[in-house]
Amino acid sequence: MQYSLSSSSRLCLLLNILLPALFVVAGLSIMASAATAQALAVNPLQGQSRAAYAGGVLFRAQCATCHGADARGIDSIDAPDLTQMWSQRDYSDARVFAIIRQGLPGTIMPPHGFTDTEIWMLVTYLRSVAVTGVRELPAGNVMRGRRLFADQCADCHRVGQFGGILGPNLSNILQRQSLTAITQAVRAPQLAVNPDFKTVDLITAEGRRLRGVLRNEDAFSVQMIDEGQRLQAFKKSELAELRFPDVSLMPAFANAQLSTGELADILNFIEFAHTESGQ
Amino acid sequence: MIHPAKLIKNAVCCCLLAIPTLFAQAQDDTGPDYEDILAGFDDPQRWLTYSGDYSGRRHSPLTQITPGNVQQLRPVWTFQTGTTTRGRGFETTPLVDDGVLYVTGSNNYAWAIDARTGRPFWSYRRNLPDDLTYGASAPVNRGFGMLGNRLFMVTLDAYLLAMDRRTGEILWERQLADYKVGYAATLAPLVIDGKVIVGISGGEYATRGFIEAYDPLSGERLWRFNTIPGPGEPGSETWPDDPEVLARGGGGTWMNGSFDPELNLIYWGVGNPNPDYYGELRPGDNLYSNSLVALDAESGALRWHYQFTPHDLNDWDSNHVPVLADIEWRGQPRRVVMVGNRNGFFYVLDRVSGELLLGEPFTATSWAREIGADGRPIVLNDGSDGCLPDPWGSTNFMPPSFYPGLDLFILNARETCATYVPEEPANAPGQANFGGVVFIDGEKGYGALRALDVHSGELIWEFTYPSPTFGGVTTTASGLVWAGDHEGNFMAFDAASGDNLWHYQTGSRIWGAAAMTFMLDGQQLVLIPSGTTLTAFALEPLR
């Protein structure tokens, strides 16, 4: 009688028997996936605790032999401490994804036959156990940072009670995200749209156009914060158009608009406000 | 018609007389008997069993509320349960007789409620142990069974209770299984002639499922069917030769079955094998997990079975209400049973023989797209190609409805994307052992009310929701479909076109519950449980 293989036996098969073939497959997929590289640049599961949890189980089943059950590595076989990955090296999620899929040629790290989702779950898990936050904040001027925050950020973001409500509260951002991630969110916000701040575009029956942040939705209605930061709700049946474009309301700040030094000033203001608030 | 005050007076009298079985016969002289339940919807003022009748079709003949006037529907009262259901829903279907609703709630609360005012005659709350197992994770209940002056309710600590319907007093209780191992009970007992049929929950623990029949009067156990065979019994060849594996093989029976009185067969769905996601220790098809079983009502003997998902690795229990209908099939009259399965397929089987007549997918599932000539699914994606339907499935236990004439099978479908990560579990009594974890990509999920042509499985119409739903479906003969969604809307649709005609935001997701309807003082009432409320709707204020 023939039975379908469970996922775990499938993984074992992949690891033990199909490894030579996978080198070829992985090589091909590198070429074939050039077009999708952009799509893969961002972890679609970023910050999702359930994905991190499932990724942890997968990690313990498939990766712990070399990297240890706590991902802190095993010195004797030269398997690195993965919790230091983002603090010691400037890896993007996409780079970690690629290493898991393709392996590291010339090292003991082999390619793996996980699905995209499984790899993103592993990346999310590794992010969750990584030493997080901004480790060494570049020097900056708190007072100048406060002015810049008020001018450039406070329409949408808050530090403490100060600022707008269209975007995430930034009071604890330095404790939650790496400098790399924060910089990416400022320079290229479209790469990772925060799922809690989805954009909504609508046109009312009278032809009024509104853009804002989605707060809730059911089959018959939609609740949003418009760009004027007003809480508004509409019946879907009374809208001429309703769209959820996959874009962030956050504008990209190029170096010309916000220099690296100015960003450091803002971050120092945020750090100062956070410390002063005693949180 | 008995006046409420008289009911209370009767109740007081009976309090004095209760307990001794000596009086049981006399007490049972009033109230609906088996013939009344058998008559199903014949009396429009009654709803006497979970689906309204034994067929599981949940199709009421009432026609006062129509596609033309449903816009005028309004809430006439709301009953607050005062008990919450963390992570799940208010899943009950009320029964009604003589203007009194009999309602079970979460955490084994129960009430008799005046259908005119929404005010309770009595309340019941079981004193549950604080170390519940499965019952703590799903503290739900789906309703009463009813016979004479007796109500039957199962409990989260795995007991069957017989209660006096006039007072809520316990007449007898029987332990079904040991809750400390992982058992619980949540379904609405099925009352047939001389028997109360129950099933058991707990397939996420090291348990072994069963279906049992009890004597309604004495509480004596009449028969038991084990859903996982013992060593050497038929079906055991689909398991490893290991008594320990069989003894914890799972196969819960936690959702109501249906009954064909002519064939004297009970149809019941069986749940997942245990552990849920880790199949290494249980190679084989693992009968009778994920199957529909047809049992002789008299003896509990297995007449036939059909397994929807052999060797399940995704927790796709087959605990659905089997829907019985007599339809014309390829030009011949045929007695069929229909199932919209958690694995994403809609099935039609001959309910006399168990022959598979149709198996077609009703979601975009990539797991399989067809059933082979041998009656087994042709599995295309065991998870290695990404996205499978999540463990809650392509639909779940929430009741579907069959609309005769239109020959539509109407159900709430769930389109989801999940990645399963199996892991060898420990098998400790009282500890859940899923055998791994699952990640569900919430961004890729949505729900839809779908109407399928039962002759082909073809999608005739659908109405989509932003998220996958657990709301059940009821139909009424005026051409209406009643459904609930995960955002809390209770809705009415045109059965032929699928057009949405009316909706009411209840304030909490409608989970596991489907509407029930009946006539009261000349008015058609429609009831839906949601969150911590039971709300009644009618076209005019109640008199």
Chain A 189-208, residues with CB within 8 Å of chain B CB atoms: 195
Q: Is the pLDDT of residue B208 over 50?
A: yes
Closest CA in chain B for residue A125: B439
CA distances from A146 to A105, A134, A256, A266, A277 (A): 47, 19, 19, 6, 15
CB pair distance less than 8 Å for A8 and B419: no
Smallest Cβ distance to A57: which of B280, B417, B437? Answer: B437
pLDDT in tens, B63-101: 999 999 999 999 999 999 999 888 899 999 999 999 999
Q: Give the mean model confidence (pLDDT) for residues A7-11.
A: 38
Chain A residues with CB inside 8 Å of B420's CB?
7
Touching check for B505 and chain A: CB below 8 Å? yes
Mutate to test the interface with A, among B374, B378, B419, B437 (most CBs of A within 10 A): B419
Q: Are B24 and B171 in contact (CB under 8 A)?
A: yes
Touching check for A2 and chain B: CB below 8 Å? no
pLDDT in tens, B114-162: 999 999 999 999 999 999 999 999 999 999 999 999 999 999 999 999 9
Q: Does A172 or B307 have the greater pLDDT score?
A: B307
pLDDT in tens, B460-500: 999 999 999 999 999 999 999 999 999 999 999 999 999 99
Touching check for B489 and chain A: CB below 8 Å? yes
Touching check for B438 and chain A: CB below 8 Å? yes
| Poorest-pLDDT segment among A26-35, B8-17, B114-123, B397-406 | A26-35
Smallest Cβ distance to B386: which of A10, A58, A116? Answer: A116
> Across chain B, what does the average pLDDT equal?
94
- pTM, to two decimals: 0.85
Q: Give the mean model confidence (pLDDT) for residues A131-136.
A: 74
- Spacing of C-alpha B237 from chain mean position: 30
Q: Give the mean model confidence (pLDDT) for residues A18-27.
A: 34
Active-site choice (B97, B157, B317, B485): B317
**Minimum distance, in Å, between the CA of residue A258 and any CA atom of chain B:** 33
Chain A residues with CB inside 8 Å of B464's CB?
219
First to last CA, chain B: 15
Domain residues of chain B, as ranges? 4-78+93-323+334-528
Chain A residues with CB inside 8 Å of B491's CB?
219
Assign domain B4-78+93-323+334-528 to its CATH superfamily: Quinoprotein alcohol dehydrogenase-like superfamily (2.140.10.10)
Banded pLDDT at A25 (limits 50, 70, 90): very low
Report residue A33 as tokens.
């996936």
**Minimum distance, in Å, between the CA of residue B316 and any CA atom of chain A:** 15
Q: Is the pLDDT of residue A150 over 80?
A: yes
Touching check for B237 and chain A: CB below 8 Å? no
Smallest Cβ distance to B437: which of A45, A54, A217? Answer: A54
Torsion of CA A190, A191, A197, A200, to 10 degrees: 50
Contacts of residue B400, defined as CB under 8 A and 6 or more positions apart, other chains included, come to B58, B320, B321, B323, B340, B409, B410, B411, B412, B472, B473
Closest CA in chain B for residue A3: B284
CB pair distance less than 8 Å for A54 and B313: no
Domains of chain A: 7-129 (1.10.760.10), 142-188+251-277 (1.10.760.10), 195-243 (2.30.30.100)
Report residue B47 as tokens.
């709803």
Instruction: State ipTM.
Output: 0.81
Q: What does the pLDDT read at residue A192?
A: 81
Touching check for B387 and chain A: CB below 8 Å? yes
Chain A residues with CB inside 8 Å of B421's CB?
7, 54, 57-58, 61, 118, 121
CB pair distance less than 8 Å for B487 and A219: yes
Highest mean pLDDT among A32-36, A194-198, B20-24, B255-259: B255-259
CB pair distance less than 8 Å for B423 and A9: no
For A104-160, give the secondary structure using H, E and C.
CCCCCCCCCCCCHHHHHHHHHHHHHHCCCCCCCCCCCCHHHHHHHHHHHHCCCCEEC
| Poorest-pLDDT segment among A52-61, A188-197, B17-26, B280-289 | B17-26
Touching check for A31 and chain B: CB below 8 Å? no
Q: Is the pLDDT of residue B309 over 70?
A: yes
Strand order of the β-sheet with B210-214 is B190-192, B195-199, B210-214, B221-226
Q: Are B397 and B512 in contact (CB under 8 A)?
A: yes
Chain B residues with CB inside 8 Å of A5's CB?
382
Smallest Cβ distance to A50: which of B278, B420, B439? Answer: B439
- Which segments of B350-419 does DSSP mark as H helices, in order? none
pLDDT in tens, A161-191: 899 999 999 998 988 788 888 998 999 999 8
Smallest Cβ distance to B489: which of A4, A44, A218? Answer: A218
Q: Catalytic: B285?
A: no
> By CB neighbour count within 10 A (0-12 exposed, 13-18 middle, 19+ buried), where does B6 fall?
exposed
**CA B447, CA B461: separation in Å to the nearest integer?**
14
Highest mean pLDDT among A12-16, A141-145, A159-163: A141-145
First to last CA, chain A: 62
**Minimum distance, in Å, between the CA of residue A5 and any CA atom of chain B:** 8
Mutate to test the interface with B, among A5, A6, A124, A196 (most CBs of B within 10 A): A6
Touching check for A10 and chain B: CB below 8 Å? yes
Chain A residues with CB inside 8 Å of B441's CB?
44-45, 117
- Rg for chain A, CA atoms, rounded: 22
Q: What does the pLDDT read at residue B6?
A: 46
Touching check for A44 and chain B: CB below 8 Å? yes
Smallest Cβ distance to A57: which of B382, B421, B505? Answer: B421
Residue at B440: amino acid letter: I
Q: Is the pLDDT of residue B233 over 90?
A: yes
**Minimum distance, in Å, between the CA of residue A218 and any CA atom of chain B:** 6
Closest CA in chain B for residue A1: B284
User: Dihedrals φ, ψ of B231, to 5°?
Assistant: -55, 130
* Cis amide prior to B275 (ω within 30 degrees): yes
Q: Are B228 and B246 in contact (CB under 8 A)?
A: yes
pLDDT in tens, A71-113: 888 877 778 888 877 766 667 888 899 999 999 888 888 899 8
Smallest Cβ distance to A6: which of B280, B386, B419? Answer: B280
